[in-house]
Amino acid sequence: MKEIQYTGVWWLPEALDNKVSGTLSIVYGNGIFLTLSESFNKDNDSYKYFNAIELAPLLKLKTLDLLHLVYAQELVTKKFIKAFITFDKEILGKKDLILKTLKIEIIGG
């Protein structure tokens, strides 16, 4: 069977700012398949866990701290909060990297 693949960025018409990388495969006689690197639904818990896993090598924080920051990132994006307040020395020591990576202002000390 002949197959053609297109690798690129995909989105839904109603959510143009929610782009996901993936591969569209056209397999003649078998169908068309879209394989995405992640879900379009970023409001589910699975996405938050995968996001924390992806951030682990960069931020090098404890798992619970990563999960807190991923949830805080969502709250900042939805404009429910403006900053993350903590006395955790590890998070405070990486506040510039967290601001750059997650766009979350860290306050505390």
pLDDT computed for residue 106 by the predictor: 97
Residue 105, pLDDT > 90, answer yes
Query: In the chain, how many H helices and how many E strands?
Result: 4, 5
Count other Cβ atoms within 10 Å, centred on residue 77. Answer: 13
Higher pLDDT, 21 or 91: 91
Query: Which two tokens mark 103?
Result: 């766009």
pLDDT computed for residue 29 by the predictor: 86
- Quote the mean pLDDT of the chain: 87
C-alpha gyration radius of the chain:
18
Q: Where are the alpha helices (DSSP H) in the chain?
A: 45-59, 63-77, 89-93, 95-102
Per the CB < 8 A criterion, the answer to whether 1 and 29 are in contact is yes
pLDDT computed for residue 54 by the predictor: 83
pLDDT computed for residue 38 by the predictor: 75
For 44, phi and psi rounded to 5 degrees?
A: -90, 160
Say how far apart CA 46 and CA 55 lie, in whole Å.
Answer: 14
Say how far apart CA 49 and CA 33 lie, in whole Å.
Answer: 26
pLDDT band at 87 (very low <50, low <70, confident <90, very high): very high
Say how far apart CA 16 and CA 75 lie, in whole Å.
Answer: 20
pLDDT computed for residue 90 by the predictor: 96
| This prediction's pTM | 0.60
Residue 47, pLDDT > 80, answer no
Rounded average pLDDT over 59-87? 92
Higher pLDDT, 34 or 89: 89
